[in-house]
Structure 1
């Protein structure tokens, strides 16, 4: 069970990273964008690591304070989830 939860958290963070990267690409091409609310919510709901990494690697949404806050909250939630998953004994 623990392995499945770790895989799910990892896959979710990869998905969040990819969505941020897609949004950056669309921004460069002046195409339809992913709503900021959606990006922030992805970061907060367990995708903090993927969002933070995408912000650093893709240089996306780095100037907006509320994204930094969402990434920090998301990272804290990710760490909390990791602690809970790793302490799960069943």
Structure 2
């Protein structure tokens, strides 16, 4: 019983984290348009690496933000693949 509960808790945390990273991309895009304070690229990459890559990836293309940067065009999809692999192995434990 406990085993299935922790898996659902992990799914919930990952989904919420991806919503946060998606919103983070929207905030950064809005700040960029207004020439204001920006979220550091390191922070975005770290957030993506910590299982938030799908939110960052969705935010990139929905808000058309950071899509010209090769580090984002290649790095974020690679991190998303790594996220998928880690989640898969987590669930096969």
What TM-score results when the alignment is normalised by the length of structure 2?
0.85
Q: Does the alignment pair 1:53 with 2:61?
A: no
Q: Which runs of 4 or more aligned residues in structure 1 lie more than 6 Å from their structure 2 counterparts after TM superposition?
A: none
How far apart, in 2, do the equivalents of 1:20 and 1:54 lie? Answer: 5
Provide the aligned length of Structure 1 versus Structure 2: 88
Which residue, 9, 14, 18 being the options, matches 1:13? 18
Structure 1 portions without partners, runs of 5+: none
Structure 2 portions without partners, runs of 5+: 1-5
Of structures 1 and 2, the larger Rg is shown by 2
Of structures 1 and 2, the one with the larger relative CO (CA 8 A, separation 6+) is 1
State the Cα RMSD in Å: 1.3
What TM-score results when the alignment is normalised by the length of structure 1?
0.87
How far apart, in 2, do the equivalents of 1:8 and 1:76 lie? Answer: 18
